[in-house]
Every structure is written in C-alpha cells, then in structure tokens.
Amino acid sequence: MGRPHLRRKVNIDLKSKYFKPQGVPIARLEVIKLKKEELEALRLKNVEGFDQRECAKNMETSPATLQRILSSAYNKISEALVEGKAIEISEE
C-alpha cells in the first residue's frame, strides 16, 4: 500500500476550466486533465517568477515533489499543444 496523497496548498482562482484549439468542438477533441496543483505550480514558477524552492514552500511540499508536479504539467501541456488536444483543469 502506497503513502496517502497529501493535499498541497493551492491558491489559484480559475477563470476557465477548459482550453481547446479554436474552431474544433470539444466533443471531437481528446481531453488531457491537468490537476489544479499542476496549474498552481506552473503559475508560481512561470507567472510569479519564483524559483523552485520558493514554489515548493508556497505549496507546502518538497522541492523534489514540486519538480515531479512541474514535469507532469509540462508534459501534459506540451502534448495538448503539439497534438491539438483540449486541456481540462481538474479538482483532483
């Protein structure tokens, strides 16, 4: 049995839950789910300009865990952009 998933501190107010390629109905697109914590990590790192230690501290997690969260987020967003998929921000 693995360790329980810890709740990380997320202070993001979502303006939209979906992002998709223009002109394509959502029903025809594959959807990639981006966790809210992944979006928060991206916001802290790329919008606020914090280094990874500051991001980890803000999210109340370790730098190693933050790196895994960022890596997962970058992979998902890259796949969506390159392959023309929609992105759904999920609460999990």
Domain ranges of the chain: 36-90
The mean of the pLDDT values for the chain is: 90
CATH of 36-90, one of 1.10.10, 1.10.40, 2.60.40, 3.30.460: 1.10.10
Residue 69 near residue 41 (C-beta atoms within 8 A):
yes
Q: For 32-77, write each residue's pLDDT tens digit.
A: 999 999 999 999 999 999 999 999 999 999 999 999 999 999 999 9
> Would you tell me the crossing angle of helices 52-59 and 63-83 to the nearest 10 degrees?
100
Sheet holding 86-90, edge to edge: 18-19, 86-90, 31-35
How much of the chain is helix, strand and coil, in % rounded to 5? Answer: 50, 15, 40
